[in-house]
Amino acid sequence: MSSYREIAELIVKEKACVALTGAGISAESGIATFRDKGGLWEKYDPVRYASIDAFRTDPSKYWLIRGEFIRNYDRYQPNSAHLALTKLEDLGLLNHVITQNIDGLHRKAGSRKVIELHGSLREINCLGCHRTYLAPKVPDGTPPHCECGAILKPNTVLFGEQLPPVALENAYREASRCRVMLLIGTSAVVQPAASLPHVARQNGAVVAEVNPEKAFPDADFFFAAKAATALPEIVAQVEQLM
Ligand code: NAD
Ligand code: ZN
């Protein structure tokens, strides 16, 4: 395993770090990852429940799998890994968090520069009048309807939908500009996020992966640990160096 001290020294020296996070960073907040046993997609076929075609045909299916999270939105809290990234941003050493997560936990943790590649369950948009509701406040019903009568859709990217172009452009820009990329809790197979660590390395950055199981073979540093263990360690070392 790589040394926390060494990556901390690089973060302090380069002052140009970016984090790319996936479902694993939220595992210890009690949210199952994509591929975990008992995870959502073991029970529900994503094409039938979470694709844009399925939503158009029968929005109640998507609300069936996401409604509970949205209505319990306040119960999910950031863990020490999200908070460590916020601290790194406060220290002026982290330029951006790029996340594939839709749980809103980076913002809840206080991170300000967050690129949500797949949108967020926090915002729920009316497909009729374009009014936005904020989780956990959402009208009753599966699917819930806006006061105007139209269907509501969480502001997340469904299978078959394009990623928000501005978020994607910002993510590529940040990946190519950074000197250190922290790759945290992602299986690094879902495109286009999976290409971002390659973009970082091609532009001369060092990639440091935090994951109990290695997912990115080209990583320059690898920490076989849970995010909530490794990130506070790294940031504690950073603080000693400042
Ligand atoms: P993934 O489920 O494919 O991979 C999760 C990765 O996290 C795995 O490599 C696993 O080894 C690792 N991991 C598990 N526990 C960990 C821990 N405690 N600390 C660090 N790493 C840990 O997730 P992905 O790569 O993010 O891609 C899945 C897709 O599913 C994304 O598009 C995402 O939008 C969506 N998703 C989001 C959430 C969420 O918002 N929290 C949850 C599940 C899935
Ligand atoms: Zn409306």
Provide the CATH number for the domain around residue 123: 3.30.1600.10
pLDDT at 135: 98
Q: Which of 129, 156, 183 finishes a domain?
A: 156
Look at 175 and 43; give whichever has higher pLDDT.
175
pLDDT at 63: 97
pLDDT at 44: 83
Active site residues per annotation = 118
Q: Which residues pair with 152 in a beta bridge?
A: 126
pLDDT at 138: 97
Among all ligands shown, which has an atom nearest to the Cα of 133? 2
Asked if 210 and 233 sit in the same domain, the reply is yes
CA-nearest of 121, 123, 145 to 134 is: 123
Residues 6+ apart with CB under 8 A from 220: 201, 206, 207, 208
Asked if 125 and 214 sit in the same domain, the reply is no
pLDDT at 42: 79
Condensed to tens digits (0 to 9), the pLDDT of residues 143-160 reads 999 999 999 999 999 999
Asked if 218 and 175 sit in the same domain, the reply is yes
Domain of residue 109, residue span: 1-30+77-118+163-242
Condensed to tens digits (0 to 9), the pLDDT of residues 35-44 reads 777 777 778 8
Atom of ligand 1 nearest to the CA of 190: 27
Distance CA 122, CA 74 (A): 10
Distance 176 CA to ligand 1 centre (A): 23
Asked if 26 and 37 sit in the same domain, the reply is no
Residue whose pair of structure tokens reads 């997912």 in the numeric block? 215
Atom of ligand 1 nearest to the CA of 186: 25
Q: How confident is the model at residue 188 (pLDDT cuts 50, 70, 90)?
A: confident
Distance CA 102, CA 70 (A): 11
Provide the CATH number for the domain around residue 9: 3.40.50.1220
Asked if 179 and 89 sit in the same domain, the reply is yes
Q: What is the mean pLDDT of residues 85-110?
A: 98
What spatial distance separates the first Cα and last Cα of the chain, rounded to whole Å? 24
